[in-house]
Amino acid sequence: MPNEVNVIIDEDFILNEWVPALRSGKYRQGRSMLRSQANTYCCLGVAADLLNNEAWGVMNGRSAYRWKLTEDPKNPLYSMNDGAFLPQALLSQFTQDVLVGLNDNNNATFDDIATILEQAVVEHEINLVAPAPTDIAMFRELVRQYKDNVLDAR
């Protein structure tokens, strides 16, 4: 298993690593999986690759890679879904569901997702890692407004 040390998503990671990577052009955007064998990535797959690019492994019988930091189910970094999402200890399931919805169902580009992440963290000070009910409500509203004003206007 890859090294688990210093694997964390926080405001610094979001703003200084994840957002720039989404905008860098280094990653080709894909849908429905963290990373395909054609090397396309979901927005969460970009975060996974930045956190630990040695944690990728081929999923038998699928055209996707899985991303796992540990095989120990007692470890909070264990992913119960065979690597389809990040462990909830890194990023809340709510936040992941919203970002996957944008990436897979709303045709948001990586630049759109980067903008939403920046607005959430910088302008609204929303905690995306372990959101309180007020953070959830604010993030839902931010995403709704972005969809209405930007994505649906295309």
Count of domains in the chain?
1
In a domain, 65, yes or no: yes
Residue 57 pLDDT class (50, 70, 90 cuts): confident
| Cα 18 from Cα 50, distance rounded (Å) | 7
In a domain, 5, yes or no: no
For 84-125, what is each residue's pLDDT tens digit?
Answer: 678 888 899 999 999 999 999 998 999 999 999 999 999 999
Q: Report pTM.
A: 0.88
Examine residue 32 and state whether it is found in any structural domain, yes or no: yes
Residue 133 lies in a domain: yes
Read off the pLDDT of residues 118-152 as tens digits, 9 standing for 90 and up.
999 999 999 999 999 999 999 999 999 999 999 99
Say how far apart CA 110 and CA 129 lie, in whole Å: 19
| CA-to-CA separations, 26 to 21, 29, 42, 76, 78, in angstroms, rounded | 7, 10, 13, 30, 27
Q: Provide the domain limits for residue 81.
A: 11-151
